[in-house]
Amino acid sequence: MIRGRKLRLVALAMVLAPLALLASSFLAAPLPAPAPLPDPVPAASPPAGMALFQLPTGVTHRSAAFAYRGGSFRDPRDFTMTAALVQHPRGDLLIDTGFGRNIDAHFREMPFLFRAITSFDRGRSAAEQLEAAGYDRTRLRGILLTHAHWDHVSGVSDFPEVPVLVTSEERRFIEDGGRLTAVARMAAPHYETYAFDGGAYLGFPQSHDLYGDGSIVVVPAPGHTPGSIIAFVALPNGHRYAFVGDLAWQREGITEREERPWLARTFADRDPPRVRENLLRMAAIATRFPDLTLVPAHDARAFAALPTL
């Protein structure tokens, strides 16, 4: 009898131990503070008439606990799916596209488990918002993807005439990413790859200046996907923004140096150590330049200050 009780206790412990370990992965565990960033603010000459707008296209329903370690399950967060329109005299740019007209079909392409735990509300697509504003789509130079997951590329198919700018690493990921990049393959746009032909930028080893004036500078930030990027935007009024894609889902990931909980980063991140490395780079930048606006792709608070078109 005693032996049977011990066996039951051992079996119970074997069940509870992994659950306790999983639960602990949601607890706050800040990454070590990075070394101070000595770099000065990078030079930029954004032209007059340059402007930045948000195009919110919908939300998914999550909690802070899902987004970063230390977040509360009782803190609901609507993860925004928002495109950003950058108007520039040499050609406008969309940073990501959010939900497109065919979002329902695109959502069905996602793995079953993801669909089972995800609900979303759709808004007007970026294309519909541009049409309603009377925007001349021939002004669009391209769509700059922070990365190629479904919720960033769903609207790409609404702009068949517009080149989509990606790194060569992300282009390969689109072809080889299975269901995770099925929507990017369905869109079948004209992809243009670019190289990081510039020097170091704010602690990132390479960069690419899209217009040559410092107004939009792209740096490599692999980890979430192989070719993820961060886009730094400088406006004529002196305001600067860092569109960090899914490096962090909410800004606390950077400001509190909290990575995603184990379960989320296991399924979401291709290379968690590189995500961690780039989180710390951005944390150093945020400390060095507190006026820089961090724009995680799914943080509604980050987009709140941007005007709509």
CATH code of the domain containing 142? 3.60.15.10
pLDDT at 269: 97
User: Does 308 fall in a domain?
Assistant: no
User: Does 167 fall in a domain?
Assistant: yes
pLDDT at 309: 85
As a whole number of angstroms, the distance between CA 211 and CA 216 comes to: 7
User: Does 295 fall in a domain?
Assistant: yes
39-56 per-position pLDDT tens digit: 999 999 999 999 999 999
pLDDT at 6: 57
As a whole number of angstroms, the distance between CA 259 and CA 221 comes to: 15
DSSP assigned state of 118: -
pLDDT at 89: 97
Tokens of 43: 């030079």
List of the chain residues with pLDDT < 70: 1-22
pLDDT at 187: 82
How many structural domains are present in the chain? Answer: 1
72-93 per-position pLDDT tens digit: 999 999 999 999 999 999 999 9
User: Does 83 fall in a domain?
Assistant: yes
Tokens of 50: 């340059």
User: Residue 55 belongs to what H/E stretch?
Assistant: strand 51-63
User: Does 168 fall in a domain?
Assistant: yes
Give me the count of residues in the chain.
309
Q: Which domain holds residue 188?
A: 2-303
Tell me if 222 sits within 8 A of 209, measured CB to CB. no
Helices (DSSP H) in 148-241: which residue ranges? 150-153, 168-176, 182-187
